[in-house]
Amino acid sequence: MKAMLKGLFLCLTMHAFAQHRDLDLVLGKKAPELINNMQVEVYEAFDRMRAAAAKKGIEIKVVSAYRSYNRQREIWNTKYKAFTQEGLEPKNAIKKIITYSTLPGTSRHHWGTDIDIIDNANPQPGDVLLTEKFYDNGPSSALRDWMNDNAATFGFFEVYTNSPNRKGFAHEPWHYTYRPLSKSYLEVLTTHALSEIAEDDQLLGRAFLDNEFFNTYTSAHILDINPILFAQE
Ligand SMILES: [Zn+2]
């Protein structure tokens, strides 16, 4: 009996530890093992995809991959300061931040599974992550066409599609996720309350994040993404 209880206790502690560890990885508070800022499995799939694209004259360059919670908070706080100094009310400043940037702890870049890419085969003057650069004759348009046809073969999918009914983050033709891994990260994230994730004294505008914000942010920004990222295998 004693041994059984001990075994049960050990099992429960390990379970609690696993959950805790998973959450830290999901929130960007702990980094997974990374190669070139991607999880090992993601990098291996990426490298195969990069080689295939190179044969077609497309030079995939990663401009952003893994990003920590602290880095995301810096981005959030910098934008919050800038927008409120421009005269925006706090709630409107937050609305503007979440056009493209996430609430720290909820970025898919925390997972080491998501990448922002451009085509480095063409000259890329100025800001490289602009939607128009991925369309018409833009420097990353051939990359977008190629990814549309081939990315899924390597496990990569666009997250913030140009579907006209999609809410949440603006269309990001540069942002791809490695679905075989990111699917479970999204599941863990959605089981945790955003109000708890946002309990951070150093997060600017924290006082203006209310339940209404958390609810719409969850349904639009976290969940209104490419539906294939939820689909059962
Ligand atoms: Zn991105």
Which residues are close to ligand 1, an ion, with C-beta < 5 A?
Answer: 116, 175
**199: CA distance to ligand 1 center in Å?**
24
Residue 7 placed within a domain? no
pLDDT at 22: 84
Find out whether 165 and 96 touch, Cβ atoms under 8 Å. no
1 CA to centre of ligand 1 in angstroms: 52
Q: Compute, in angstroms, the gap from residue 21 CA to the centroid of ligand 1.
A: 24
Determine, yes or no, domain membership for 1: no
> Which is higher by pLDDT, 72 or 19?
72
| Per-residue model confidence (pLDDT) at position 7 | 55
Helix (H) / strand (E) element for 176: namely strand 175-178
Segment 10-30 mean pLDDT: 69
**Distance (Å) from CA 35 to ligand 1 centroid:** 18
| Residue 165 within a domain | yes
pLDDT band at 2 (very low <50, low <70, confident <90, very high): low
Residue 17's pLDDT band (boundaries 50, 70, 90)?
very low
| pLDDT of 4 higher than 70 | no
pLDDT (tens digit, 9 = 90+) per residue, 113-170? 999 999 999 999 899 999 999 999 999 999 999 999 999 999 999 999 999 999 999 9
Please give the distance, rounded to the nearest whole angstrom, from the Cα atom of residue 176 to the centre of ligand 1: 7
168 is a domain residue? yes
- 182 alpha carbon to ligand 1 midpoint, in Å? 13
Compute the distance from residue 226 Cα to the ligand 1 centre, in Å: 14
What's the domain count of the chain? 1
The mean pLDDT of 191-213, rounded to a whole number, is 94
Question: What rounded mean pLDDT belongs to the chain?
Answer: 92
Burial environment of residue 179 by CB neighbours within 10 A (0 to 12, 13 to 18, 19 or more): buried
User: For position 230, what pLDDT does the model report?
Assistant: 84
Range(s) of the domain holding residue 224: 23-230
Asked if the model's pLDDT at residue 13 lies above 50, the reply is: no
Q: What CATH number is given to the structural domain containing 119?
A: 3.30.1380.10
Q: Please tell me the least confidently modeled range out of 18-27, 30-39, 46-55, 116-125.
A: 18-27
Please tell me the distance between residue 55's alpha carbon and the centre of ligand 1 in angstroms: 25
Compare 38 and 193 and report the one with higher pLDDT: 38
Q: Is residue 66 part of a domain?
A: yes
Q: Let me know if residue 50 belongs to a domain.
A: yes
In a domain, residue 201? The reply is yes
CA distance 101 to 79: 9
CB atoms within 10 A of CB 110: 28
- In Å, how far from its chain's centre is CA 204? 21
**What is the CA(114)–ligand 1 centre distance, in A?**
7
pLDDT greater than 70 at residue 8: no
| Residue keyed to tokens 């720290």 | 104
So what's the pLDDT on residue 14?
47
Ligand 1 centre distance from Cα of residue 175 (Å): 5
| Residue 5, pLDDT above cutoff 90 | no
Is 105 within the bounds of a domain?
Answer: yes
